[in-house]
Amino acid sequence: MGHTEVMDFIDKNGGRQDQGQVLVQDHVPKVKDFYQKECWAHHPKPHQEYIDARKKQDEALLAERNKLVPGM
């Protein structure tokens, strides 16, 4: 798209060209690590209702995305 200056800046600062990777630096805590660390183990886990609702929402979003792709 013509963003060569931005791409050069990212490459110069250690960026990679791998697609599908999370754009969060390693020193930032990740959600997947939240309950595995001792300092956060006391934090209450989300309710099952929320997890189920979120899973339904994610499935609906994925189904909608697949509709927009030709041939799906």
Whether 60 is in a domain gets the answer yes
Q: Residue 39 is part of which domain span?
A: 22-72
What is the pLDDT, as a whole number, of residue 58? 92
Whether 8 is in a domain gets the answer no
Ramachandran angles phi, psi of 42, nearest 5°? -75, -15
Burial class of residue 17, CB neighbours in 10 A (0-12, 13-18, 19+) = exposed
Whether 68 is in a domain gets the answer yes
Per-residue pLDDT reduced to its tens digit, 11-60? 888 877 777 766 677 777 777 777 777 877 787 888 899 989 999 999 99
Burial class of residue 10, CB neighbours in 10 A (0-12, 13-18, 19+) = middle
Per-residue pLDDT reduced to its tens digit, 1-22? 578 888 888 888 887 777 776 6
What is the pLDDT, as a whole number, of residue 72? 60
Nearest to 31 by CA among 13, 48, 19, 43: 43
Whether 1 is in a domain gets the answer no
Q: What H or E segment, with its residue span, contains residue 45? A: none
Whether 45 is in a domain gets the answer yes
Whether 65 is in a domain gets the answer yes
For the entire predicted model, the pTM comes to: 0.42
Number of domains composing the chain: 1
Whether 71 is in a domain gets the answer yes
Whether 7 is in a domain gets the answer no
